[in-house]
């Protein structure tokens, strides 16, 4: 009989146009995004690295899991928020106590604001062409 291995948990996090597929595996806290290290992908920004560590701090699992993520679309901040939301979803699924802590901190709420689509007969979603009286 073969021994069953536990498959890593995969969840998606979304923010604006960014979609992050996040996988947590047991490790030492390394974050890999699209095959690159987190500092190489996002650059040296303290706010983004602190944002990504926040779910681990609230759940008390700093340095226990490695994060492997694939991110598509959006900008830098939207991608970081999508990744943070994906990590929080996985940690909440692991333990009910984690869920209450993460929810109280506001990490379990998906930010549903997206760009408004362009309307026909206008320059952008709401901006209009210049009106000329004569």
* pLDDT digit string, tens, across residues 41-65: 988 777 888 889 999 999 988 989 9
What is the reported pLDDT for 7? 53
The pLDDT-based confidence of 134 (bands split at 50, 70, 90) is confident
| Domain range 9-104, its CATH number among 3.30.230.10, 3.40.50.300, 3.40.50.9100, 3.40.1190.20 | 3.30.230.10
The pLDDT-based confidence of 88 (bands split at 50, 70, 90) is very high
CA pseudo-torsion sign 127, 113, 49, 47: positive
What is the reported pLDDT for 84? 94
What is the reported pLDDT for 117? 93
Q: How many CB atoms sit inside 10 A of residue 105's CB?
A: 14
Q: Percentage of the chain with pLDDT > 90?
A: 56
Tell me the C-alpha distance between 61 and 87, whole Å.
Answer: 11
pTM, rounded to two decimals = 0.82
88 vs 43: which has the higher pLDDT:
88
Strand partners, 23: 10, 68
């Amino acid at each position: 009989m073969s021994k069953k291995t536990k498959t890593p948990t995969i969840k998606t996090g979304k923010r604006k146009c960014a979609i992050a597929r996040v996988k947590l595996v047991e490790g030492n806290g390394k974050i890999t995004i699209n095959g690159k290290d987190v500092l190489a992908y996002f650059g040296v920004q303290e706010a983004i690295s602190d944002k990504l560590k926040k779910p681990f701090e609230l759940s008390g699992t700093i340095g226990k899991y490695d994060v492997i993520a694939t991110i598509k679309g959006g900008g830098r901040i939207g991608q970081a928020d999508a990744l943070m939301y994906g990590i929080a979803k996985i940690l909440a699924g692991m333990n009910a106590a984690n869920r209450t802590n993460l929810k109280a901190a506001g990490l379990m709420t998906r930010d549903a604001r997206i760009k408004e689509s362009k309307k026909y007969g206008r320059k952008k979603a709401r901006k209009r062409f210049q009106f000329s009286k004569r």
